[in-house]
Chain A
Amino acid sequence: MRTEISADKVKGDFLEKVEELSGQSIWACYQCGCCSSGCPVAEEMDLLPNQVIRYVQLGLEEELLSSKTIWLCASCFQCFSRCPRGIDISKIMDALRQMAMEGGVDRFGPVEISPSELAKAPQQVLVTVVRKLSA
């Protein structure tokens, strides 16, 4: 996908909405990359955690809401734990998921859990996966 950066996007209300939903200050990030270096699922991601924040700063809503990354964050809080600026990136990921779900995307709902998982998986996994990835 071609990524277009424009003054309109930067000045749009996307960043404000992400800040409102996540309670995090997006401009606090100075792109050190600590989050991405410690992220256990960075290998599977199409956008690294620090890039996610940069994209929010640039108002790249479409790219973010269609990324794989927002559905791969497992909320392990390693990024938050190590962020020198105190940004809880898992909250930003959840805010982006919430926006994608409000737009009609449902990444993983109860019907997608296989019968064999349903028979063995702990209740806490079943509740968590649905709460995190389904509207």
Chain B
Amino acid sequence: MKLPYYPGCTLKDRTSQLEATALAAAEKLGIQLEEMPNWTCCGAVYPVSETKIVNLVAPFRILKEVSEAGSDKLVTICDFCYNVLKRANLAIHEDPVKRQRMNAFLQDDDRRWAASGQQVGEGQEYDGGVTVLHYLQMLREELGFDVMAKAVEKPLSGLKVAPYYGCNLLRPPAEMEFDDPENPRIMEDFLEHIGASVVESPYRIECCGSFLSLSSPEAARRLSHNILESARKSGADAIMLSCPMCFYNLEQKQKEFGQHFPGFRPMPVFFFTQLLALALGLDPQVLGFERHFVDPIPLLKERELV
């Protein structure tokens, strides 16, 4: 199976372990993720103001390129990229004014590229025909969790993991159509298929504080701490997530938690692709735990998983 893949900025740098494990696991599962030859930033946030339509250009261009390359699907991993690409695509598909304006804008853009000697697409209208898939959806719907489970060499037996969804995968639900917004299951199903024990914690769909960790750090810290404590009280060894922003707030920021929350005990946080790579028996070199603040190795050793 071959699918076009959009990485986004963060996976190429600050959370390269997410991309490395995702690509290695896909290869092991027989999925060829082909990185788009030209990609730009998706914009990171979906432009919500009705007057800032120009902010739709970046995701529109990405989606149009996928369509012009002859594909009707696009896989991405970062929750923010997924949210922006999916919502932009839906807006283009459902709103004829936005569709027309984006296509007109890109025609000008194509002419400028052509004038500078660059290769451009065929100048066809793009109508939002690409299906944007998150990597988890790719595993469930394109490959099948049961097929994934058959490739597991080292079931994560005894590892008690609390899935954490955050915001951008699930919401707004009418546009994302990812899972039940109040009681999602996809991460739990994923964990069961790689042999881990699922721990449900009540804060799994709460916000981690997002960009407030820079602009209002005390608020973000409170939210992230609530999520970690909720997972701990529910009996989890670790948290599993998919978003690089959540990883920053829930994992990297634990470094500061000790001084703000007396008695705080650090908790390992995994990207779901790291657990997948581990279960598929891939070379531990690929896991990239050296980028983590809380080293998960002692926990994995205790559970005899490394």
Q: Give me the interface of A with B, judged by CB distance under 8 Å.
A: 20-23, 40-41, 43-44, 71-72, 74-78, 80-81, 88, 90-91, 94-95, 98, 107-108, 112-113, 117, 120-129, 131-133
Within 8 A of A (CB), among B238-254: 244-245, 247-248, 252
A-B residue pairs in contact (CB < 8 Å), sample of 6: A72-B219, A77-B171, A81-B172, A98-B52, A122-B13, A128-B44
Q: Is the CB of B216 within 8 A of A44?
A: yes
User: Of B15, B49, B209, B222, which one neighbours A21 at CB under 8 angstroms?
Assistant: B49
Closest 6 interchain pairs by CB? A76-B207, A77-B171, A123-B9, A127-B44, A129-B211, A108-B215
Contact status A108-B214, CB under 8 Å: yes
Contact status of A75 and B215, CB under 8 A, knowing A80-B172, A122-B245: no
Chain B interface (Cβ within 8 Å of chain A)?
A: 8-10, 13-15, 41, 43-45, 48-52, 78, 80-81, 167, 170-173, 181, 205-207, 209-216, 218-220, 222-223, 244-245, 247-248, 252
| Contacts A72-B212, A131-B45 given; does A124 touch B172 at CB 8 Å | no
Is there an interface contact between A123 and B13, defined as CB atoms closer than 8 Å? Answer: yes
Contact between B172 and A41, CB atoms less than 8 A apart: no
* Chain B residue nearest to A98 in the complex (CB): B49
Query: Which residue of chain B is the closest to A117 with respect to CB atoms?
Result: B214
Which B residues lie within 8 Å of A120 (CB)? Answer: 14, 248, 252
Task: Given the known inter-chain contacts A75-B210, A81-B181, please indicate yes or no for A122 contacting B14, CB distance below 8 A.
Answer: yes
**Beta-carbon contact of A124 and B9 below 8 Å:** yes
Instruction: Let me know if B48 and A22 touch, CB within 8 A.
Output: yes
Apart from A22-B50, A124-B80, A133-B215: 20 A-B pairs, beta carbons within 8 A: A20-B51, A44-B219, A72-B216, A74-B212, A75-B210, A78-B207, A94-B49, A98-B52, A108-B214, A121-B213, A122-B14, A124-B8, A125-B214, A125-B245, A128-B44, A128-B80, A128-B211, A129-B211, A132-B45, A132-B211
- CB pair A71 B172 closer than 8 Å: no
CA distance A43 to B218 in the complex (A): 11
Q: Chain B contacts of A21 at CB under 8 A?
A: 49-51
Q: Which among B44, B48, B51, B206 is the interface contact of A124 at CB below 8 angstroms? A: B44
**Cβ–Cβ contact A74 & B207, under 8 A:** yes
Q: Shortest distance in angstroms between A111's beta carbon and chain B's nearest beta carbon?
A: 12
How close is A62's CB to chain B, nearest CB, in angstroms?
A: 21
Contact of A74 among B170, B173, B181, B211 (CB under 8 A): B211
Residue of A22, A40, A90, A128 ringed by the most chain B CB atoms within 10 A: A40
Q: CA of A108 to CA of B210 in the docked complex: distance in angstroms?
A: 14
> What residues of A have a CB within 8 angstroms of the CB of B41 in the complex?
123, 127
Q: Are A76 and B167 in contact (CB under 8 A)?
A: yes
A23 to chain B, nearest CB (A): 4
A105 CB to nearest B CB, Å: 13
Residues of B contacting A94 in the complex (Cβ-Cβ under 8 angstroms): 48-49
* B37 nearest CB across to chain A (Å): 20
Which of A77, A107, A108, A132 is the one whose CB lies under 8 Å from B167? Answer: A77
B244 CB, min distance to chain A CBs, angstroms: 4
Contact A20 B248, beta carbon cutoff 8 Å: no
Report how far A75 CA is from B52 CA in the complex, Å: 17
For A124, what are the chain B residues with a Cβ–Cβ distance below 8 Å? 8-10, 44, 78, 80-81, 244-245
Contacts of B14 in A (CB 8 A): 120-123
Please measure, in the bound complex, the distance between the C-alpha atom of A125 and the C-alpha atom of B205, giving whole angstroms.
Answer: 19
A41: shortest Cβ distance to chain B, in Å? 6
Of the residues B43, B80, B171, B214, contact of A76 by C-beta under 8 Å: B171
